Every structure is written in structure tokens, then in C-alpha cells.
Amino acid sequence: MNSPINVGLVGFGISAKVFHAPFITTNNNYRLVSVVERHKAESREKFPSVQVVRSIEELLNNDSIDLVVITTPNETHFPYAKAALEAGKHVVLEKPVTNTSAEAKQLLEIAQQSGKVLSVYQNRRYVSDFITIREVLDKNLLGAVHTFEGHYDRYRAEARPQAWREHELPGSGILFDLGPHLIDQVLYLFGMPNTIAADIRLQRPHAKVDDYFDLRLDYGFLKVILQAGMLVREPGPRYLIHGTKGSFVKSGEDPQEALLRAGAPPVGDDWGKENEAIYGILHTEADGKQIRERYPSHKGDYALYYKNLYETIAGNKPVRERIEHGYNTIRLIELAFESHQQQRTLPCTGLMPVAYR
């Protein structure tokens, strides 16, 4: 496929505006052709050449579209992806891939039968801190890791009545929203855990769905702690990683999302570059000497997701963000809710033994 991949974008909310459209429209290997907007035509204000349609059925009837990117609420992921695959389209699904592992498994089977690419949009694999953590671990700078702690905290005490994620709907709540980022990173780094224990809460008085979680994943020697909450006004480090030889502590946030929300285009040599003030602290030993220093962060780049996807669709390279990865994430979320309800540690059953890199 030498010509650009024609893209149909389903939905034009924050996810589409911030995490997808900027990278589709700045990559010459893609052409944004059509956008599903139920009532408005905001996409045409920014991209005058796009065709605005009112339903996914209308989008799928466009034979010129090669790739469908689904950014709508979680409960639509399964039916929309199923319809797109059966219409002969490649599909990108926002996380979480589906609301149940059974739905994810069914999509995997449909994708295999259709011969089309089905990928989960895991953009947190392409943030500065995670790319840097991968290097620290790959270089064995900490020795054998015994503790990995990841946080995704926010502060928003007030209710957001228009936010579907805060209503009692399938796939709502913070575990479905932020959990897939942290869980996918841990599965990428360490593979499948042995057991899971979860504490999932509604902390804000107005909360109708979970707004805090604490997950404990056991790998034997390694213990993983994943936390997220909506009442953390003064966040601590995002990551604390301790090994037999040293520690790596990382604070601060990758700059890409804030820039994109402010309308900055994802271009230029400095895109995704962190401020040196939030470089992580590496405290370890090398050549018999103790070292404690700022460890330079690699640049983040969400654009790598779509660059890699093009190589998969046009160059037949393996999918990097696979539906099986999305399945494992949802399976762990299911087990987390079961663990919380039963107030006990559960074995991590039903996971797919699939490579992550």
C-alpha cells in the first residue's frame, strides 16, 4: 500500500481531538477522510476537507476508508469494532479495548477471521517516563527488581455531571479509565503476575462509580503496587522502582498531553522533551562506586504509535499493541473487582501468554 491510509474517526471528543487527530493529520501516510459526529460538525472547523457523518453505519458504507479509529464511550467499543472488522476495515480501539474479557476474545477471533489489523491505542507506552524506565531496567541498573510502584493521581473534588465516566454505566470509573495505562505498562515490563489483590473505593461524596484503586500484583520476588485516585492534590512520585542494587524514582508528567490540549501541533525536535527539573533520580552502584544523580529522560512521542501502525498495515510487520494485550488488561480489571468484592487475593487466571515486545 503506497497511497495514504484513509481513516474514518468515530467520535470527536477529547480522545479524538487530543490523542488521535493530531497524529493522523501530521503523518503523510494517513488521510483523515470522515468523522462520525452525532449532532455537531466540529471536526470540519479544524479539518475542512473531512466528511462529517451521523452514524458508524454511514462511515462503514464508505468503501474508500481503510482504517476505523474508535474513540467513543467504552460500551460502544465492542459493537463498533465488530461492525468495522466485519465491514473489512482495520481498527484502532481506544483503551479499554472492551468492557469484558469475553468481548475482547470475540473481537480477537473476528479479527483473525477477517485478516484485518485490530490494535489497542496504548499511548502510555510512548511517554517519556515509561521509555526511560524501560532503558533503566534493560540496562540492569537496579539489579533484580523487587518493588515496582506506579501512580496515576489527579485532584478533582467536584462532580462532572456531563462526564459519562462518572455515571453508573458499563466501563465507567477510574479503574476502567486509568487502570489500563498502568496495567499495560506492568505487563509490558514484567509479564503475567501470579496473584492480584485489589482495594477499589468511592472516596468523593458525590461519587457513583469508583474514583480510587489500589492493586497489588505478585510475581514472586517482585511486588507491584498500582494506585490512582481523584483526591491527590499534592502528588508524590509517579514511579518508585527498587532493586537489589539501586532505586529509580520518577516524578512529574510527560508534557505531550498538556501541549496537545493547548492546541500545540506535535511537530519539532523538542516535541515530547521533558524539563530537566523532573528527570528521575537514579541511586545505584556502578564499577564499585555509589551513584545518585538525575537520569536524563528520553523524549516521549505518541506519534510512534501511528508510525508503527502504518508499518503493520502497509508493511506487514507485527502489531505492537495487540488485541491480546487489551484482553489481558481487561481480564486483570475483572479479577481486581472480584478480589475487592471477595476481600481476598485471587490467582491471575485466564490470561493469554502472549509476548509484549
pLDDT for 153 equals 96
Q: How many residues does the chain have?
A: 357
Average pLDDT over residues 66-76: 97
Q: Could you give the C-alpha distances from 220 to 114, 180, 197, in angstroms and in order?
A: 39, 22, 14
Tens-place pLDDT, residues 287-319: 889 999 999 999 999 999 999 999 999 999 999
Contact partners, residue 357, CB within 8 Å, separation at least 6: 188, 320
Tens-place pLDDT, residues 210-261: 999 999 999 999 999 999 999 999 999 999 999 999 999 999 999 999 999 9
Tens-place pLDDT, residues 266-286: 999 999 999 999 999 999 998
Q: Which three cell numbers stand for residue 64?
A: 474508500
Domains located in the chain, CATH noted = 5-121 (3.40.50.720), 124-301+333-347 (3.30.360.10)
pLDDT for 166 equals 84
Tens-place pLDDT, residues 10-43: 999 999 999 999 999 999 999 999 999 999 999 9
Instruction: Order the strands of the 5-10 sheet from edge to edge.
Output: 51-53, 30-36, 5-10, 67-70, 90-94, 118-121
User: For the CA atoms of 192, 197, 202, 208, what is the dihedral angle to 10 degrees?
Assistant: 60
Whole-angstrom distance, CA of residue 185 vs CA of residue 326: 12
Cβ atoms within 10 Å of 251's Cβ, excluding its own: 17
Q: Which three cell numbers stand for residue 340?
A: 475487592
Contact partners, residue 233, CB within 8 Å, separation at least 6: 155
pLDDT, mean over the chain: 96
Which residue type is seen at 247? Answer: S
pLDDT for 195 equals 98
